[in-house]
Amino acid sequence: MGELFVVFLFGLFVVAILVGEDFILTLLYLLLGAFIVGKWWGGRALRGVQVERDFTRHAFLGESMPVSLKVRNKSWLPLAWLHVRESLPAEVYSSGPFQQVTTLGPQASMELSYRLECRKRGFYPLGPLDLKSGDVFGMSSAPRMRLEPDYLAVFPKIIPLTRVKLPSQAPLGSLRSHQPLFEDPSRTRGKREYVVGDSLRRVDWKASATVGRLQVKLFEPSIALETAIFLNLNAAEYTVFTRFDVPELAIVVAASLANWVINARQSVGLASNGVDPLQGGEAMALIPARRGRGHLMRLMESLARVQTAESFPFVDLLRQHSALLSWGTTLIAITNHIDDDLFDALFQARRAGLSVFLIVCGQVSNFEHSRKKAAYFGIPALQILNEKDLDIWRQ
């Protein structure tokens, strides 16, 4: 409309010149004013608008989470109409994008809100948020404003485990052990009479003075369970039938184990050949073993983000990162693909002093044969077909 209006105003001006009438000038003022105000209003409508997206950036599976959009018009120019459109992924907001048409007076603010249903693990962009407004005459094309997306991490499902029996060879940890080899001198569990051969460093002199006989301390054996979880998310190593469900099961197993290890006040690390969207589609960076809730959150966010993709082989991941692990670390390999290369890599890790544990998620052909083969190499193996199979660690 703008172009024709300009032509019209120019024509009006020419007529005013030719005729020399002041009424045409009055008209010119009116229409020029409408044109300029319309253009100016349309162009500046969104300049004073501020938008904030307020939400918790991570959520647990099944959680319903509110998101609020705080829109504020800082200028004195009112917005006759304001179109707000927030693009949202269908996994968390099934009814299309959130959109609303509203109006905002000068120096006014308002809050729009919607709820997200976190039904699936993932790392979801909330936005971009598009704002559109304009003048009441339609003189200018509606200006737009965009608020870049924020991201929401929906953690994978965590199944609380209670009795996980993972092999470890790291002494002096905080976990009880039945191997007397790993006695911890900081954990005294009792005393007994001295017998020949006992080390004098074990003699409890105070107790010996009290009793009048030599007493030696008994120490509780303990191990440290430093764990490294290796997660195979290379799409090429899954079949067409297992590509969608089994990686999710593998992620649930990894998250549950990590949670258990952290709860046991041990350290846990994570390595995967899946891609991380936050790193531009590159493979997920190795997360070294650490303790504490904060580290667990970091692990969970990584497991929320990580995605199956055509990546490098799982064996390469094992070979690349297992060499960096300290002696006695427990290596948990979670995969769906078993072959001789895998056994070779796991055996090499075992020989390097790591405690290796193989978890096979999903169906594989002739798992029993593979289990026997793993046992031959001294590697315990477990198959988990669904989440219910994790009950063996819950009893």
Partner 1 sequence: MRLAEDRKQLFALGANFLLVSLMLTCLSVTFVQLGEAIFTGWQGEYLIVLSFFVALEAMYSARRVSEWNFPDTGLLVYRATEWVLILAFLKISSYFSTGLWQLTRDLPLWQENFGRNFLSGEFIFGAIVLLAVWMFAGRYSLDLLPLEVNERVLRIEWESGVFENRPAARQRLANQTLWVGILMIFLAAALRYERAPLWFELPTLRFGVYNLMVYFFLGLVFLSLTQYSLMRALWLMDKMPVNTQVANRWLVYSAVLIGVLALVSSVLPTSYSLGFLAMLNYLLYIITAVTGFLASALMFPIFLLINLIMSLFPVQDAERLPVEPPQPPPLPPPAAEEAITVPWVELLQSIAFWVVFLAVIGFALYFYLHDNEWALRAVRRVRLFAILANFWNSLRQRAAQANRELAAAVEDSWRRLRARIARSRDRQNWQWVSLRKLSPRQQVIFYYLALLRRGGEHGVARQPSQTPYEYARTLAQALQNASDGAAAAKAPEFEQDISTLTDEFLEARYSQHEIQQQDAVMARNLWQRIGKFLRRVWRRSESR
Residues that bind partner 1 (CB under 8 A): 1, 4-5, 8, 11-12, 14-27, 29-31, 33-34, 37, 78, 80-81, 83, 96, 99-103, 105, 134, 136-138
Please, what is the minimum distance in Å from the beta carbon of residue 165 to partner 1?
56
Residue 31 or 214: the one with the smaller Cβ distance to partner 1 is: 31
Query: Could you tell me how many residues make up the chain?
Result: 395
- d(C-alpha 126, C-alpha 152), whole Å: 7
Please, what is the minimum distance in Å from the beta carbon of residue 137 to partner 1?
5
Please, what is the minimum distance in Å from the beta carbon of residue 22 to partner 1?
4
The token pair at 260 is 């258990």
Contact 89, 124 (CB under 8 A): yes
Please, what is the minimum distance in Å from the beta carbon of residue 15 to partner 1?
5
Residue 100 or 383: the one with the smaller Cβ distance to partner 1 is: 100
Residue 79 or 224: the one with the smaller Cβ distance to partner 1 is: 79
Taking alpha carbons only, the member of 335, 226, 351 closest to residue 290 is 226
- d(C-alpha 111, C-alpha 288), whole Å: 42
Residue 85 or 371: the one with the smaller Cβ distance to partner 1 is: 85
Residue 80 or 297: the one with the smaller Cβ distance to partner 1 is: 80
Contact 39, 54 (CB under 8 A): no
Residue 38 or 313: the one with the smaller Cβ distance to partner 1 is: 38
Listed in order, strand segments (DSSP E) in 64-208 are 64-73, 79-86, 98-104, 109-117, 122-126, 129-133, 144-147, 150-154, 170-176, 183-193
Taking alpha carbons only, the member of 72, 64, 63, 7 closest to residue 35 is 7
CA distances from 102 to 37, 76, 98, 157 (A): 21, 17, 13, 38
- Render the burial of 202-220: b for 16+ CB within 10 Å, e for the rest: bbbeeebeeeeebbbbebb
Structure-derived torsion over alpha carbons of residues 262, 158, 176, 178, reported in degrees to the nearest 10: -140
Please, what is the minimum distance in Å from the beta carbon of residue 90 to partner 1?
16
Please, what is the minimum distance in Å from the beta carbon of residue 152 to partner 1?
23
Residue 113 or 363: the one with the smaller Cβ distance to partner 1 is: 113
The DSSP string of 124-141 is: EEE-PEEEEE--SS--SP
Please, what is the minimum distance in Å from the beta carbon of residue 126 to partner 1?
19
